[in-house]
Amino acid sequence: MSLIDKVLKERYKLTELIAEGGMASVYKGTDLLLHRTIAVKILKENLALDKEGVERFYREARSSAKLSHPNIVNIYDIGQEGQIYFIVMEYLPGGTLDKQISSKTPLSVEEVIRIGIEITEALDYAHTKGVIHRDIKAQN
């Protein structure tokens, strides 16, 4: 089922599917109230039917919302509309690290070091706040 052009909570319009994962799909969208581009992570249908899957999804959102760091996306909102569970977050242009690596190969040593430092700084900050990422990979 395509969610393109769907508006959630009369506010968040989904405009483009930008990523698919095992737990969720991520859409680029527009916050119609604040007129800004956003990313909206939507829990997969099979997990939306599972109370434990929904709780894990929202636990991720609540944990991430505690973090304020330049290398970690901001969480703006969480919500539910019918059987659609979603997290609204900051949109960063350029796609995933995986896509950037694929399109720019080979990366320079300086770029690899810069990216590595940004990732480790973000992880260090999250760990000091008691948040453990559990799924570190270029797609995330």
- Residues annotated as catalytic are 135
Q: Do residues 48 and 85 make contact, with C-beta atoms less than 8 angstroms apart?
A: yes
The 8-class DSSP code of residue 108 comes to P
Cis peptide before 106 (omega within 30 of 0): yes
CA-closest candidate to residue 86, choices 121, 54, 115: 54
Q: Do residues 19 and 10 make contact, with C-beta atoms less than 8 angstroms apart?
A: no
DSSP E strand boundaries for 55-108:
75-81, 84-90
